[in-house]
Chains A and B, each alone.
Chain A
């Protein structure tokens, strides 16, 4: 009995490690200056999105370029629901009646945004989950293009390629941290659940998974919808963080950045999603500081010229990929090795249990 309980606890070690890591980042943010606080809020929002992306991409092994479309839907849904009615009449006079008069709190808008993104994902999942490999990539990319074209041209709803303004900005570290932690918990429980394990089986070998009776399409669809919900929530948080945005912000650049975070961290583990987000954000922020203020160290003044930041960031990411093609975490969960070492020190666990646990965690 105690054996079972301790194994359960062991399985939760990676999750606890990640949660503590994220909470520490949030704590550091709330202790820092106002601009640092905004930076950390932005990182937490990005974390929600990358973890959401991981739920589908990491577990299914199918690359998606379309998730930023869900984020855009979340952001615009929040805009329609939260911009004050008077302002909407002035800036978006042709909004359909029910949207023009809608006025909800930020939290309600956030939940609705997540649901809207999930429902849209459930619809587009029908074609996408049937595809694999590069065809799936291109199909999701097509979804991104379609959503972007529609948002950029449906002037009545979105102000076209122009900026939509007036979303109440009430995203703070305090309001985003619960969502970052919530996304972590759900993503981790999902990958431990039988759904997650089945989906990972299709990732390793789709043919073998089908042979043992797993429906690839159904497993992928479930993860796709769950993942879209979190990305939609992330989009809503982003809207409430920025206050004003345009469709161009939800396109290839952000798609690349979020995927890069996932791959730099390690696409096959939740820790990879978290570590990748934190490392890439930290590098980007460090370079921004160097560019704006410079760094004085032992008499030498180091300052990066404007425009060099992007170049250095791209080079650093390439370097990480070349040195660690499997990502920084190599697809392992944080704390996994520590648990294994601990287990070796306690010999009463039967060898077969260790084998089973290691077999499940090896990837």
Chain B
């Protein structure tokens, strides 16, 4: 029983991280229909920023600076690479995002080398507390707490602030929103900034646990984020968060209960399950069917 609860906590922790990543991707997709492949490189930028600043300042301060830097990078990315392509079709934007991702990876490789560097975010991540006979890693608690705060913050932002309301309008019908006076550039820039904040936070939490910096570290998380976003319901934020949590739980449960010799194939099972979900619900778990054109 304790064992099972332990597994659930692991799943919730990993799921929280995936949800943060998926929300970052979904925020941008919502307003711009852009699948931002370079979202993973925002994590990478966060990691190397942390690496450069670590040492002098308390780690929480460094983490805040990292989040700001990543958010600014996200806004800059949109301004330089994606704004000129806003009218292009999905394939072009996607390949542009791929190119941005490749560009940033190459720059990181050029500046820092391709060898992996150890990064110790804080010794806090290695500690654990005992609650009712359960040893819970401090990192897991931190991830879950931070995710909860960010989710509540995002909901408040989208419902209460004027720009948040405009973002929701733009996600629903961009043309209509513009006709009603929503400024496209501003809404898109804010979407990228918020997406960057999520990426920055995810970077600190992710690297706090893995502790390894490489120029390509963003690839694995961004794949998970895409899949979670689409599985949950492309463009709906609640769907993306749900998709993230589901993938996290699924990964942890498979890791725990799959027979020993099948365990290396865990990700194959996870991604096969994704194909299965899409087959039953092509629009994702939480998307309405209203938007589908019919004969």
Contacts and interface: CB of A to CB of B under 8 A. Distances in A.
Interface of A: 57, 63, 127-128, 130-135, 137-139, 141-143, 145-146, 149-150, 153, 206-207, 210-211, 252, 256, 259-260, 263-264, 267, 307-308, 310-311, 314-315, 317-318, 321-322, 325-327
Contacts of B231: 138
Given A146-B271, A311-B107, A139 B278 contact: yes
B279 A322 contact: no
Contact of A146 (B29, B94, B268): B268
Contact of B265 (A134, A137, A153, A325): A153
B88 A321 contact: yes
Contacts of B88: 321, 325-326
Given A133-B90, A150-B265, A211-B295, A141 B227 contact: yes
Interface stretch (B65-73, B97-105, B149-157, B179-187): B97-105
B103 A311 contact: yes
A135 B268 contact: no
B271 A135 contact: no
Contacts of B89: 325
Contacts of A308: 110
Contact of B227 (A138, A153, A263): A138
Given A127-B279, A138-B227, A325-B85, A259 B272 contact: no
Contacts of A57: 91
Interface in B225-245: 226-227, 230-231, 234
A127 B295 contact: no
Interface string B211-235: 0000000010001001100110010
25 contacts: A132-B282, A134-B29, A134-B234, A135-B278, A135-B283, A141-B226, A145-B223, A145-B267, A146-B272, A149-B265, A207-B294, A252-B223, A256-B95, A260-B98, A267-B91, A307-B109, A307-B110, A311-B103, A311-B110, A314-B99, A314-B102, A317-B95, A318-B81, A321-B88, A325-B88
Given A127-B278, A311-B103, A210 B96 contact: no
Interface of B: 29, 35, 81, 84-85, 87-92, 94-96, 98-100, 102-103, 105-107, 109-110, 219, 223, 226-227, 230-231, 234, 264-268, 271-272, 274-276, 278-279, 282-284, 293-295
Contacts of A259: 91, 94-95, 98
Contacts of B100: 314, 318
Contact of A139 (B87, B94, B103, B274): B274
Given A149-B266, A207-B293, A260-B98, 17 more contacts: A131-B278, A131-B279, A132-B282, A135-B234, A135-B282, A138-B226, A139-B275, A146-B268, A150-B265, A260-B95, A263-B95, A264-B95, A307-B110, A311-B106, A318-B103, A326-B88, A327-B92
The B contact surface, by secondary structure, is: helix
Given A130-B282, A132-B282, A139-B278, A314 B87 contact: no
Nearest to B104: A314
Contact of B35 (A137, A206, A314, A318): A137
Contacts of A314: 99-100, 102-103, 106
Contacts of A260: 95, 98-99
- Scoring A132, A139, A267, A317 by chain B CB atoms within 10 A of each residue's CB, the highest score goes to A139
Interface centre among B107, B272, B278 (most CB of A within 10 A): B278
Contacts of B265: 149-150, 153
A38 to B, nearest CB: 24
Contacts of B85: 321-322, 325
B73 to A, nearest CB: 16
B261 to A, nearest CB: 10
A142 B227 contact: yes
Most chain A beta carbons < 10 A, residue from B35, B95, B100, B105: B95
Contacts of B96: 318, 321-322
A98 B234 CA distance: 45
A145 B293 CA distance: 30
Closest 5 CB pairs of A and B: A325-B88, A310-B106, A314-B103, A142-B271, A153-B264
Most buried by B among A63, A132, A325: A325
A63 B91 contact: yes
B295 A63 contact: no
A130 B223 contact: no
A131 B98 contact: no
B104 to A, nearest CB: 9
A153 B110 CA distance: 31
A263 B92 contact: yes
Contacts of B95: 256, 259-260, 263-264, 317, 321
B268 A263 contact: no
A189 to B, nearest CB: 24
Contacts of B283: 135
Nearest to B230: A138
Contacts of B282: 130-132, 135
B225 to A, nearest CB: 11
Contacts of A206: 293
A146 B95 CA distance: 22
A142 B272 contact: yes
B227 A310 contact: no
A256 B110 CA distance: 20
Contact of A317 (B90, B99, B267, B278): B99
Nearest to B224: A145
Contacts of B29: 134
A321 B99 contact: yes
Contacts of B226: 138, 141
Nearest to B114: A307
A315 B102 CA distance: 9
A297 to B, nearest CB: 25
Nearest to A151: B268
Nearest to B35: A134
Contact of A256 (B98, B266, B267, B272): B98
A150 B269 CA distance: 10
